[in-house]
Amino acid sequence: MRRVLAALAVHLLAAVPTTQAQTALQPFQAAVGGYVIGYPRGWEVAPAADGRAVAFFGPPVLLRGATFRPNMVLSVTPTPQGVDDRQVVATAEAALAQAMPGLRRLGQETISADDGRPVTVGYYLADGLGGRLYLVLGVAQRDARLATVLGMTSPDLVGYRIHAGLYRAAILSFRMR
């Protein structure tokens, strides 16, 4: 039963029209770092000075009596030599599991990005931080660089599926300039 639900969750997210989600994105071009990624229109942008990371924050919402901001973080680092996508995903997932109590993978897919190269996207549910969190983790290797994108929302928000679709579209839009 759990596998059926997980497969259904991935199918529902994959059903979010990519072109519709892409039109809801605007491009962020890193001044340092040489990359471009789409992010949801109207969200706040907080780039790191060294160009290796950027965070995007949605409008604040009241959730379980506290303020919550859906968010997405991109990290770009040199790709360790001899490491394949599966190893990168396993390492990122292990780090996520350590940071998020009760992390459960709902599903995972490998899809072609806008540049035609593969991107691995995982969907997760975690308990903690005052409630349930829905996470979308994307990993892509481009030009000897590793891009890791983590989108976070809450399944308690009415629009969490929209956020998840936006995170997926953002991951697919990542490219090096």
Span 141-150, mean pLDDT? 88
Quick one: pLDDT at residue 102? 86
Q: How far apart are CA 67 and CA 131, in angstroms?
A: 12
Asked if 26 contacts 44 with a C-beta cutoff of 8 angstroms, the reply is no
Residue range 62-69: average pLDDT?
88
Instruction: Kindly report the pTM of this predicted structure.
Output: 0.84
The CA distance from 76 to 80, in Å, is: 12
Judge: domain 2-176, CATH 3.40.1000.10. Answer: yes
Tell me the per-residue pLDDT of 37-55, one tens digit each, with 9 for 90 and over: 999 999 999 999 888 999 9
What are the backbone dihedrals phi and psi of residue 65, each rounded to the nearest 5 degrees, phi first?
80, 5
Domain layout of the chain by residue ranges: 2-176
Please give the mean pLDDT across all residues of the chain: 84
* Rounded distance between C-alpha atoms, residue 111 and residue 116, angstroms: 9
CA distance 24 to 72: 15
